[in-house]
Amino acid sequence: MRIEFDKVEKRFGSKVALSIPAWSIESGEVLGLVGSNGAGKTTFLRLLLDLLRPNTGSIKINGRSLAVDASWRGITGSFLDRSFLIEYLTIPEYLEFVGASFGFSKKETYERLAHFESFLPISRVDSTRLLRDLSTGNAKKVGILAALFPTPELVVLDEPFANLDPPSQIRLKDILIRAAQVEHTTMIISSHDLGHVMEVCGRITLLAEGKISRDIETSPETLAELNTFFASEESASAT
């Protein structure tokens, strides 16, 4: 799998939210997308998932435009926010729906879900409670689980560690690392949590004011470089 942004620009009115002349990711790469609020991370992910269309340029997966060929949807798992859920369904109903959309029987769905019991114990959830009644953290767990259990080739997550308690953050980090190492899943993970991103991701793309400021491999020096960047950005905004 190869994902390419070519001369992509997204504007909202007169404001340029994202401008990326060229960017790509190869199969099996795990990339952390980082940046301050308003840097363009969510716009980037929404363009990648064809939830927004660029004003100019193209986005391709395996050489085929997202806008023309929708086959990428069958190999992609994603969760950006609560709008991805069907709030009037229960947890089992929603996960069974997701499984069916990937062609799994109910039995196959629950066999796959069993591998994620430590993160979200489906066997013990309230099967009558609607998703709309869940806390933000538990709703996020359901959304992340729905993105991961079909074992897609591509996983796209926006702020997956936010609103999760520390044990759940650790379990999720371990799940993502295992998916990368065992399944060779291509992942794009947007997060403000630099510590977890550094542990999970082998590459970092840093956005600033809608443009790529850094695109670097993760190394012992990367965290210090990012901290220096954000410290200087904060200093500049304070003056």
Give per-residue pLDDT as tens, 54-85: 999 999 999 999 989 999 999 999 999 999 99
Q: Read off the tokens for 83.
A: 């709008």
Q: DSSP letter string over the chain? A: -EEEEEEEEEEETTEEEEEEEEEEEETT-EEEEE--TTSSHHHHHHHHTTSS--SEEEEEETTEETTT--GGGGGEEEE-SGGGS-TTSBHHHHHHHHHHHTT--HHHHHHHHGGGTTTS-GGGS-TT-BGGGS-HHHHHHHHHHHHHTT--SEEEEESTTTT--HHHHHHHHHHHHHIIIII--EEEEE-S-HHHHHHH-SEEEEEETTEEEEEEE--TTHHHHHHHHHHHHHHHHH-
User: Average pLDDT, whole number, for the chain?
Assistant: 95
State the CB neighbour count (10 A cutoff) for residue 235.
9
Q: pLDDT: is 201 or 123 the higher one?
A: 201
pLDDT value at residue 238: 61
Residue 239's pLDDT band, with cuts at 50, 70 and 90, is: low
Q: Give the whole-number percent of the chain exceeding pLDDT 90.
A: 88
pLDDT value at residue 21: 98
Residue 233's pLDDT band, with cuts at 50, 70 and 90, is: confident
pLDDT value at residue 235: 64
The yes-or-no verdict on residue 236 having pLDDT over 70 is: no
pLDDT value at residue 67: 86
Domain regions of the chain by residue span: 2-87+136-238
Domain covering 2-87+136-238 assigned CATH 3.40.50.970 in the classification: no
pLDDT value at residue 40: 97
Residue 232's pLDDT band, with cuts at 50, 70 and 90, is: confident
pLDDT, average across residues 85-103: 97
Q: Read off the tokens for 40.
A: 């363009």
Place of tokens 């998932």: 49
The yes-or-no verdict on residue 216 having pLDDT over 90 is: yes
Decide: 96 and 149 in contact? Cβ < 8 Å: no
pLDDT, average across residues 176-204: 95
Cα torsion angle, 74, 77, 78, 83, sign: positive
State the virtual CA torsion across 31, 173, 230, 15 in degrees, nearest 10: 50
